[in-house]
Chain A
């Protein structure tokens, strides 16, 4: 008895190895059959790095859309299979993943919610071979072949809100502060034009290194002595939180309004109720947006993921619209052929977290909201209906 307990014999080992080998090859045997039935979407979201805070929401919203579409027969009769891929690291890492997804997984469509530096790298890598749908907020002017943008553009996000602030709040001198990369710099280029149109002037323009451990005492002191009427903030994530907390800590929030261009629910929780006075955000979606579509989306989201679901916000909810955009595009084009998709894109309509939108010039016209912060909640004070993207790409 004792000898039998000593461990596996050579024969059982061989048997196990053979069984293991057989199991290992099985998925390979099944794969081609399954692949033909699946519609694969490479989903670029932030699974690591500073933006990974948004990852769980991005993934959950994409899953919600995929589940709804799959229940109704999928895309062209094929069930959606999401392949969540990290785009939270350096752009070069995301491009490697894109190549792998194209060559090994033969993905049908890419959907991406990530920063603009990564988008530029992905556009250069994908080269229009696979339809690529870009979803969050961005600086405008992306017209690459076979690339479709449902993101908020500066014409939608900045022009109405900044004009409102300059007119209603009589803000003439604007201080621009942002992280040092493509999105803040291009947004500020646009903002300068809107400021000039409204007879205001730029007090100063300043950038902090992106990804460095920034602190803001010196900058806030400089803003205090420059005495602007408003600050336009293109800082992201922890920088946005740090800046706004320091700003209010030094008591500047009473006299100087702040309009932040990437201020969603998570960031506002970090800024906290004592630091969110006189702070505004402009976006096409807030978790408490009043439209019926937004309410239904939120109810479905909570029904699927429960009360402990990741915090809803624009960065994340954008992926829901991205998946539906893929369905509308590919269904109308009858496949993923690049030229057919390009031709089909004009005029497609599809649901997003905020409501149904139509594509025009590979961008989307949409309703924009301006919200002020009440503690750690957004209070929508102004709705701008049907704002044109201002970026119409030629076919």
Chain B
């Protein structure tokens, strides 16, 4: 097969899988708790800075995962406790509150690291021959990791006891509380999982992008579009949304130009908001 088409096909897979993993934390918090976390991108940014710090301390790259889970977990716990908990079921208020939070986190990063670009070296450099073409190994690893993280979380949510408790909380919080489920703790835990997932996404993409305080904005937009198109509260919604947004963007960028690809993403998001606001997979 034509190596150009093979490479573009892998690019497509890469675009879809990384978008799914970057939207995952947002999907958890937005889909299950109904909180539109505008600061999602800033948690990605924090994860990327963790990767940068770990690398500048000459530690193994995987240590960044631990550092990110610690920092994003702690921040997620504080944010849920102080900002989000009083605002559940007030979607507009949480939107404004998390928008303020995103400004604060960005300025915090600016105060600590400055506005300059930081670069994170690719932990697994090089390329590998694949189907008659060459592809960067790290991007292939990212595809596999993204699918594993998304798949793992979906299976855990479907099979585990905590998963079924969360589902009980989502469908009827009062009844879940009456059944002895601590809704408050469960919601806090869900929020923390969401921020940690965002941080992990940041660790994953840090070697591919300039690490700087504003980087989160680049990811949060496509993640929102993926959720709008896919629909909230289900794994199939997340995956189909990522496939449509990431896929159209990648295919049209490959076949024509990046401008058309970006244009297609915007048009799709508007069409879905207009004609099918609950997304492809609407929760009943």
Contacts and interface: CB of A to CB of B under 8 A. Distances in A.
A binds B: yes
Interface of A: 50, 52-53, 55-56, 180, 206-209, 212-219, 221-222, 224-225, 238, 241-242, 245-246, 249-251, 266-267, 269-275, 311, 376
A270 B119 contact: yes
B3 interface: yes
Contact of A249 (B136, B212, B221, B222): B136
Interface in B53-93: none
B119 A221 contact: no
A111 to B, nearest CB: 21
Contacts of B214: 50, 238
Contacts of A249: 122, 136, 138-139, 208
Contacts of B105: none
**Residue of B117, B125, B211 with most chain A CB atoms under a 10 A cut-off:** B117
**Residue of A206, A207, A213, A241 with most chain B CB atoms under a 10 A cut-off:** A213
B217 A246 contact: no
B123 to A, nearest CB: 11
B219 interface: yes
Contacts of B215: 238
B257 interface: yes
Contacts of A218: 8, 11, 250, 253-254, 258, 261
14 contacts: A53-B115, A212-B262, A217-B139, A217-B250, A218-B254, A218-B261, A219-B258, A222-B4, A238-B212, A238-B218, A249-B139, A250-B136, A267-B117, A270-B210
B210 A238 contact: yes
A295 to B, nearest CB: 23
Interface size class of B (residues with CB under 8 A): 35 or more
Contacts, number: 113
A275 B116 CA distance: 17
B191 interface: no
Given A53-B117, A218-B250, A249-B138, A225 B3 contact: yes
A238 B210 CA distance: 6
B136 to A, nearest CB: 5
Contact of A209 (B120, B125, B211, B262): B262
Given A221-B7, A269-B119, A207 B257 contact: yes
A217 B208 CA distance: 11
Contacts of B221: 213
B163 to A, nearest CB: 32
Contacts of B259: 180, 207-209
Nearest to A52: B115
Interface in B114-172: 115-122, 125, 127, 134-136, 138-139
A180 B218 CA distance: 18
Interface in B186-225: 208-212, 214-215, 217-219, 221-222
A270 B117 contact: yes
Contacts of B253: 218-219
B32 interface: no
A269 B116 contact: yes
B125 to A, nearest CB: 7
Contact of B15 (A212, A217, A238, A274): A217
A206 B257 contact: yes
A249 B115 CA distance: 24
